[in-house]
Amino acid sequence: MSNPIPLLYGWVVILCQLLALFAIVIGITKGFIIYCQNIIFNDRAEIAFQSSRLAMGYSFSLGLSFLIGASILKTSIAPTWNDIGQLGAVIILRTTLNYLLLRAIDRSH
């Protein structure tokens, strides 16, 4: 009988990736709606841009967090040194991007 743990890991990785996709798509949709509402009712592109950018930033940050979790789970099944190195690079890039997103969000408040 095969070990069910790798199969469970695979499903959890897929779930994390789907949650990331969902969060990002929701953020894009919400940002677009906020942008359109501000352009139509306020007629100020600056407010529209800033408000929609904030909404998308939060969603992108959440999506990146889910993707980091999925990457960690993927690598933890049977890692090689190459896999660990790639995971480290991915985590550094995504964490840096997440940090910059959150910093931009904080500055806009």
Closest of 104, 100, 74, 98 to residue 24, by C-alpha: 98
Whole-angstrom distance, CA of residue 27 vs CA of residue 61: 10
Residue type, 67: L
Token digits for 61?
A: 């940050």
Whole-angstrom distance, CA of residue 32 vs CA of residue 53: 9
pLDDT, one tens digit per residue, over 67-87 is 988 888 888 876 788 888 888
Closest of 103, 100, 102, 104 to residue 92, by C-alpha: 100
pLDDT, one tens digit per residue, over 7-25 is 788 899 999 999 999 999 9
**Whole-structure pTM value:** 0.77
In this structure, are residues 75 and 87 in contact, taking their beta carbons and an 8 Å threshold?
yes
